[in-house]
Structure 1
Amino acid sequence: MFTLLSMYEVRQIQTEIQRNAAHFLLMETEDPIEILKSEHNEALEKLALLENAVLSISTSGFSAEAFQNIALAIRFLDSEFRNHDRKEEEFLFPLVEKHVSGPPAVMRSEHRSLWNAFGQLCQIVRDVEEGKLHGKVIAELIQTSRTVITLLRHHIEKENTVFFPLTKRLLTATEYKHLQQQFQSAH
């Protein structure tokens, strides 16, 4: 036998459905792994800018425009992407290490290699800014930029295709919710 609902009950149900839909939409947009992937996409855009600038310098010679694009990419990596790596190191890796130790250790090692190469690139850029512009510096700028590009692209690919799916399989719902809360407090 069916029971007829009052208009009040129908409105309550509609409100609850809307609240739940909004909650799930909010959860989806605040998924920590999706946030990290989105940040990876931003980094890949800046790497393309860096790569095009380096290609321009290697084929057409040094130009102020190419150097400005290199500086723009470097500023992004040094601020936004450094913060990205900090979130992984402080929040994500420790949770994954409760289940396995190898993959987070590999990711940390790759971070160190990337930031070492990035530090070298920053020093070369400072040399150029200080007017130490000669063939060796330009060759170092090109080579070190390519190293940073390669290291970061491979790292992003590994995280997106191996590490993040592993993370989603390993973390419990409680751990994942905790990670989400940590990401929210980090902004």
Structure 2
Amino acid sequence: MTTVKKFQFELPALRVLENEHNYLSYLMDGWHTIVLGFERDIYNEEEAREALQTLRKLIIEFIEPLKNHTEKEEEILFPLLSKYIGDEQGPIRALEDEHEEIDSYIGHFLHHTLGNLNELSLQEMKDIVKDAGEAFEVITIHFVKEQSIVFPMVINTLRITEQDQLFDDLYTSIIS
């Protein structure tokens, strides 16, 4: 049975971002299953190597839509909100820091899976995959923070004309 995910927000600009969160979460679910397999020790060394290659491929495919989404937030949403709430500390600063943390986990994972995977032991592969698991955790919590803290700020802080302009600016695809 297919479940239909309902939008939490009525504001069109927020629906764009919420839809992107849903899409990114869908992509993440695809690779997080592999991470969970490593955590649950379901792979032998050969299966782990194959799973690690698949995980790397899925994360590489995930990077472009994630980057496009975070760039929209950093270049459009956050500057608009920061006019009212500032960006030296508080939610905007925290979310920007999380973007960097996500980049670090993904970058670290990709760096350690660059070479010949045949040289890695099962334990080394499990250790490397922890970065992908951490990225998943940070992204998931990040989306919750945005939707529970930042999105209501958009509704309660921005003028209607700014909300309309925000929609016009955000209404672009994160996939190519």
1:12 — aligned with what?
Answer: none
User: How many positions carry a matched residue from both structures?
Assistant: 159
1:24 — aligned with what?
Answer: none
Separation in structure 2 between the aligned mates of residue 51 and residue 70 of structure 1, nearest angstrom: 8
Equivalence map 1:103-118=2 (5 Å): 103-118=91-106
Separation in structure 2 between the aligned mates of residue 30 and residue 158 of structure 1, nearest angstrom: 18
1:51 — aligned with what?
Answer: 32
Q: Percent of counterpart pairs with the same letter?
A: 23
Equivalent residue for 2:42, pick from 54, 57, 60: 60
Equivalent residue for 1:150, pick from 137, 161, 166: 137
Separation in structure 2 between the aligned mates of residue 68 and residue 33 of structure 1, nearest angstrom: 35
Separation in structure 1 between the aligned mates of residue 107 and residue 169 of structure 2, nearest angstrom: 28
Aligned residues of 2:28 and 2:62 also touching (Cα < 8 A) = no
Separation in structure 2 between the aligned mates of residue 147 and residue 174 of structure 1, nearest angstrom: 38
Whichever structure has more helix as a proportion of its residues is 1
> Deviations for 1:19-78, whole angstroms, at most 9, x for unmatched residues?
xxxxxxxxx999221111111111212222222112223422252653354134312431
Query: Is 1:85 the counterpart of 2:65 in the alignment?
Result: no
Shift in Å, 1:104:
1.2
**Does the C-alpha gap of structure 1 residues 39 and 68 become closer, same or farther in structure 2, counting only changes over 3 Å?**
farther
Larger Rg: 1
TM-score by length of 1: 0.74
- Structure 1 gap ranges (5+): 1-27
1:74 — aligned with what?
Answer: 59
- Of stretches 114-123 and 137-146 in structure 1, the one that deviates more from structure 2 is 137-146
Root-mean-square deviation (CA, aligned residues, Å) is 2.5
- Structure 2 gap ranges (5+): 1-8
Q: Provide the secondary structure at the position in 2 that maps to 1:38.
A: helix
Aligned residues of 2:109 and 2:129 also touching (Cα < 8 A) = no
TM-score by length of 2: 0.78
Q: Provide the secondary structure at the position in 2 that maps to 1:99.
A: helix
Query: Is 1:39 the counterpart of 2:20 in the alignment?
Result: yes
> Deviations for 1:100-137, whole angstroms, at most 9, x for unmatched residues?
0222111111111111111101112323x554322353
